[in-house]
Amino acid sequence: KQEVTQIPAALSVPEGENLVLNCSFTDSAIYNLQWFRQDPGKGLTSLLLIQSSQREQTSGRLNASLDKSSGRSTLYIAASQPGDSATYLCAVINNYGQNFVFGPGTRLSVLP
């Protein structure tokens, strides 16, 4: 059974810092991995999709990497801003499944 974990559970940084969020999954037979952002009480906003054949994806200040063999993905946020404060979730789709398996999320606070 696929399990996804995220470290740290919460993170507080001053504005302008670069930071890394970590995601680990137990079964490397994944189809793809997607990072999402969730503001309190709201739905999920897609940030980046990495397909299993890819190593990384970039969008603006965000860069996500994928290492299937080690069961890890990282989300790098450059020059953090207070507007980046949210919960960040990673989710995988297994080769044998149709649905996302989510991690518990990392709650990020960027202080002005």
Nearer to other proteins, 31 or 111 (CB): 31
* C-alpha to C-alpha distance for 24 and 70, rounded to whole angstroms: 8
Nearer to other proteins, 86 or 100 (CB): 100
Q: Give strand ranges (E) for 15-105.
A: 19-25, 30-38, 44-51, 56-59, 62-67, 72-77, 86-94, 100-102
The contact set with other proteins (CB under 8 A) reads 4, 31-32, 34, 36, 41-46, 49, 51, 89, 91, 93, 97-105
Task: Provide, rounded to whole angstroms, the least separation between the CB of residue 93 and other proteins.
Answer: 7
Nearer to other proteins, 18 or 26 (CB): 26
* C-alpha to C-alpha distance for 83 and 85, rounded to whole angstroms: 5
